[in-house]
Amino acid sequence: MKDSAADPPVAVSPRLAVALARVQDRRERRSKRLLPVLWVIFATIAGQSLSADPAPGAGGRHLAVSLVLAGCLLPLGAVASGRWRLTVPLQCVVYCLLVGGFGLALGILQPGSESVLPPAVGVMTAFLVLRLLPALLLGGVLTGALVGTAITGTDGSVTNVVSQILFCVVLALMALSIRQAGGNEERAELLLAQLEDAREAEAAAAALAERTRIAQDLHDVLAQTLSGLAIQVQAARRMARRDQAADDLRDLLDRTAKLVKDGLGDARRAVGALRGEGPPSLDRLIELVERYRTDLELDVTMTVSGLQRGLPADAGLALYRGAQEALTNTARYARGARTTVTLCYEPQATTLTIEDRRDADSPPRPALAGGSGLGLTGMRERLTQVGGNASAGPTAHGWTVRMEIPA
């Protein structure tokens, strides 16, 4: 048996979907707990009919008793065994009418049998499965038929009629109580899931508001600072052209102007990322390497190997920012080194390696793990958050940073 409840929403969150699955599982368990009761009722009706007069048989009135008994027991056994699941109201109405109707007919053919049990089962099932108004109508029909049969039967006393009515009413109230308790548990489960979703949505909204505030502050500070710097650099370029400064100085000012311009672009992208806009990914890694080669005059090259595949946005951002930090450190500590950026798509992982090779007479590069070391720490934290890892350390000829994202 299955009690009808409100249809689940079309689109639900993962948490609410889990809650709905638990609700469905609880309904199934509750229905299974009622099946042994149906088997007890099945055995009671069969036992009473076999001991009554006339007993089931193959001819005459005995054959009629056999057919009516089969009509009562077959739907009861089908539901008790799980072969007939009362999943829609029409099935429940048919089941209740079959069990109740054949049960009443069995009481007429066998005056000595207990004719109240089959229609009472129909009443209880109606209140377990159907909504209240249809259950009241169907229960009233079965109870009225039972009372009419009792009045016209061998024992039409007031006591017998009242006791049969009370028996049906008690079963109906018990069914309503069971259904109400189950409905309260289900509503509590769904409301708890919805509450958790609401809390997460509220936290996400608060985080977005805070990120927007930070983005606005960064925009105001960086935009003013870099815009002012751009104006000053532009003025210096005009002065250099007016005074016919050396070509090296004018080239330096041109590169500085481009750096300021790129810095403004990076600041805008950082602010956009805080606002939830698309962050940079590995698709722009070649552009990043080119900028470091042109603007910072790094001797850097890039190679890509393996079958290229897409990465999650947060994983691509972690690798991009890691490469940016590694190249910045190369420009800071090993400007004369030859740097190689290698992006490798392996079957088990995606790896990004930044290696610089210095001449033998170059000064040693300070270890990033000591001192401020915040760049490497942030790199590792980014990779860890997306399930990857990062390592950095000296080699025989320089320094290597290696980042890995499992496939």
**The CA-based dihedral angle spanning residues 244, 247, 252, 255, taken in that order and rounded to the nearest 10 degrees:** 100
> What CATH number does the domain containing 337 carry?
3.30.565.10
119, 103 Cβ separation under 8 angstroms: yes
Q: Is the pLDDT of residue 361 over 70?
A: no
User: Is 314 found in the same domain as 183?
Assistant: no
- 199, 223, 243 — which closes off a domain? 199
Range with top average pLDDT, 18-32, 148-162, 163-177: 163-177
CA 42 to CA 50: how far, in whole Å?
12
CA 145 to CA 96: how far, in whole Å?
13
- 175, 199, 223 — which closes off a domain? 199
Number of separate helices (H) and strands (E) present in the chain: 10, 5
User: Is 25 found in the same domain as 147?
Assistant: yes
Q: What is the mean pLDDT of the chain?
A: 82
Does residue 397 lie in a domain region? yes
Residues of the chain with pLDDT > 70, as a percent, come to 84
User: Is 172 found in the same domain as 38?
Assistant: yes
Write down the pLDDT at residue 373.
52
User: Is 295 found in the same domain as 162?
Assistant: no
Q: What is the mean pLDDT of residues 131-148?
A: 90
User: Is 18 found in the same domain as 133?
Assistant: yes
Q: Is the pLDDT of residue 379 over 80?
A: yes
Q: Is the pLDDT of residue 365 over 70?
A: no
Long-range contacts of 140-148 (CB under 8 A, 24+ apart): 142/96, 142/100, 142/168, 143/119, 143/168, 143/169, 145/100, 145/101, 145/104, 145/119, 146/100, 146/104, 146/115, 146/116, 146/119, 146/120
User: Which amino acid type is present at position 340?
Assistant: T
Q: Tell me the three state secondary structure of residue 155.
A: coil
CA 22 to CA 36: how far, in whole Å?
23
Write down the pLDDT at residue 155.
61
277: phi then psi, degrees, rounded to nearest 5:
-80, 165
pLDDT band at 302 (very low <50, low <70, confident <90, very high): very high
User: Is 285 found in the same domain as 147?
Assistant: no
pLDDT band at 369 (very low <50, low <70, confident <90, very high): very low
Strand order through the sheet with 398-406: 299-306, 338-345, 349-357, 398-406, 389-394
- 164, 199, 234 — which closes off a domain? 199
Give per-residue pLDDT as tens, 384-397: 999 999 999 888 88
Give per-residue pLDDT as tens, 281-298: 788 899 889 888 877 778
CA 349 to CA 344: how far, in whole Å?
8
- Token pair 């007939």 is found at 84
pLDDT band at 154 (very low <50, low <70, confident <90, very high): low
User: Is 180 found in the same domain as 40?
Assistant: yes
Domain that includes residue 306, residue range: 279-406
Global pTM?
0.51
Q: Which two tokens stand for residue 128?
A: 């377990």
Q: What is the mean pLDDT of residues 266-280?
A: 67
Give per-residue pLDDT as tens, 174-233: 999 988 888 888 888 888 888 888 888 888 888 877 877 777 776 666 666 766 677 777
Pairing between β-strand 349-357 and β-strand 338-345 as defined by DSSP bridges: antiparallel
User: Is 151 found in the same domain as 53?
Assistant: yes
Residue 88: CB atoms within 10 A of its CB come to: 12
Give per-residue pLDDT as tens, 244-254: 778 777 777 77
Give me the number of domains the chain comprises: 2
Q: What is the mean pLDDT of residues 351-359?
A: 88
Tell me the C-alpha to C-alpha distance, in Å, between residue 384 and each of 346, 373, 378, 391.
19, 17, 10, 11
Residue 197: partners with Cβ closer than 8 Å, 6 or more residues away: 13, 15, 16
Nearest residue to 56 (alpha-carbon basis) of 48, 149, 76, 119: 48
Q: Is the pLDDT of residue 269 over 70?
A: no
Give per-residue pLDDT as tens, 305-330: 988 888 888 898 899 989 988 988 88
CA 130 to CA 139: how far, in whole Å?
10
- State the Cα angle at 70 between 147 and 4, rounded to 5°: 65
Give per-residue pLDDT as tens, 8-44: 444 567 888 888 888 888 888 888 888 898 999 899 9
Does residue 204 lie in a domain region? no
Residues of the chain with pLDDT > 90, as a percent, come to 27
